[in-house]
Amino acid sequence: MNAPSRQPRGYMLGGDYLPGRTMMINRPKPKPQIDPATAVENYLKGFRITEAELWELSPVRPDDRKHDPVMLLEALFGQRELVNIVSDCTIDESGARPRGYGETMTRDEWVKRILVSGPPEGRGGCWFRINPVDGHGIADANVTSFRYALVEADKLPTELQLSLYAKLLLPIAAILTSGGRSIHCLVRVDTTDASDYRETVTHILRLLAKFGVDQQNKNPSRMSRLPQVQRCVGAEGDGMQRLLYLNPHPEQRRIHDHD
């Protein structure tokens, strides 16, 4: 029969055993978290880009900015695909949020209407769903093509958001201002179904989590901002929602690839 060890239980794991506890007192402390703004600064290494400079890098640039919403819809959707746009909103202490089902028409029907009377407008601005729908609702189940994902990090200063998107190695189809403190980045993912979409987008967002990117934007019925609409509620500056970059055929590369 073996004699009982005189060493305290747990000694073989290293460290000193604390009676009545299961933790080792010399377990390495977790590394302190870097705040998102600092993480972005470290990633950018001094790089900055302005809205005007980003616009110069855009593969598509309408001659007249009033045509921005038309060019955006034509770049993102097929002519017969159904696009949902919402201009009604609920206003509370957090700002303006889209309300109701909005209106759903084919892309070309929206193009004709916007060319005649301009985009829909509301006090909170105007939103569009980033993926086409079936015309029977606006939920994830109504999405017909799982084409784009929304990336945003509105806790960062806008200059850092803009510069970050210009340096990310992603197939970016569009970058838009919200008319407020957020800049929206639409990434082309082209997944096969809702399950594949959620898995792919979750992976992208987790990789970008250290930069303060919103981890909730995992569903395909998300909305972005339609350009050339001016919001009143929650506005920053003049409140104009602007198109900053548009690429109908994005590749997985950096928009700005020079140091």
**pLDDT tens by residue, 132-147:** 999 999 999 999 999 9
The first and second tokens of residue 133, run together, are: 């729908």
pLDDT on residue 94: 77
In this structure, the strands spanning 229-230 and 82-86 are: unpaired
The model's pTM: 0.86
Mean pLDDT of 201-229: 97
Scanning the structure block, which residue is given the tokens 């992603």? 170
Instruction: Report DSSP letters for 97-114, one per residue.
Output: EE-S--EEEEHHHHHHHH
Question: What pLDDT sits at residue 33?
Answer: 79
Residue 73 vs residue 95, higher pLDDT = 73
Lowest average pLDDT, out of 22-26, 76-80, 175-179, 186-190, goes to 22-26
Average pLDDT over residues 181-190: 97
What residues are paired with 218 via a beta bridge? none
Residue 115's SS3 state is helix
Q: What is the mean pLDDT of residues 233-254?
A: 95
Q: How far is CA 186 from CA 11, 20, 95, 112, 118, in A?
A: 53, 53, 22, 24, 23
